C-alpha cells in the first residue's frame, strides 16, 4: 500500500514542479513529510502480502514519448539487452521519478543538430510514430 502512495506522490510532485502554484507545491511538501514520517517514524512500515501484491508493478522501460518534456541534463546510463533472436544489443536509458526510459540513438542525433542552433536548449519532447522496426521519433525543442 505504501509503494502505491509513493508512486502517486512522485507523479503529483513531478506535475507540480513543472506547472504548479505555490499552494500546490506546499501541499505536496506537506504530504511528503507525512509519508516520510510513516516510512521512517519507527512504525512497522511493511504492508500485508495482499497490499504489496495489489500495489506491485513490474519494472518496465517506458517510451521516451510518454514524457511531456525531458531535461537535457538528465544522466544517461549504458545497458545491454537481447533481441527476439537472442542477439545482444547496446542501448542508453535514463530514469525519471523511478521509471526507466530508453533513449533512442536517433533522438540523440536529432538533439545534436538542434543544439547547433540552440546551444542553451534545456528541455525537449519526443513524438513517436509507427511500431517495431517502423518506429520513428521526432525531437521537438521545448522553450520555457
d(CA 79, CA 83): 13
**With contact defined as beta carbons under 8 Å apart, do 116 and 97 qualify?**
no
**Prediction pTM value:** 0.60
Where do the structural domains in the chain lie, given as residue ranges? Answer: 2-55, 61-142
In a structure prediction context, what are the per-residue pLDDT tens digits for the chain, which is 144 residues long?
556 666 776 776 666 666 666 666 666 666 666 666 666 665 555 678 888 888 888 878 899 999 999 999 999 999 998 888 999 999 999 999 889 999 999 999 999 999 999 999 999 999 999 988 899 999 999 987
Amino acid at each position: 500500500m505504501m509503494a502505491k502512495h509513493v508512486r502517486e506522490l512522485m507523479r503529483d510532485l513531478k506535475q507540480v514542479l513543472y506547472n504548479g502554484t505555490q499552494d500546490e507545491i506546499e501541499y505536496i511538501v506537506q504530504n511528503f513529510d507525512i509519508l516520510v514520517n510513516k516510512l521512517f517514524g519507527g512504525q512497522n512500515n511493511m504492508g500485508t502480502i495482499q497490499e504489496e501484491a495489489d500495489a506491485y508493478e513490474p519494472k518496465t522501460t517506458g517510451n521516451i514519448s510518454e514524457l511531456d518534456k525531458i531535461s537535457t541534463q538528465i544522466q544517461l546510463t549504458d545497458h545491454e539487452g537481447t533481441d527476439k533472436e537472442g542477439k545482444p544489443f547496446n542501448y542508453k536509458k535514463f530514469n525519471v521519478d523511478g521509471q526507466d526510459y530508453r533513449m533512442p540513438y536517433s533522438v540523440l542525433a536529432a538533439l545534436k543538430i538542434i543544439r547547433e542552433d540552440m546551444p542553451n536548449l534545456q528541455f525537449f519532447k519526443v513524438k513517436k510514430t509507427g511500431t517495431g522496426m517502423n518506429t520513428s521519433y521526432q525531437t521537438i525543442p521545448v522553450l520555457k
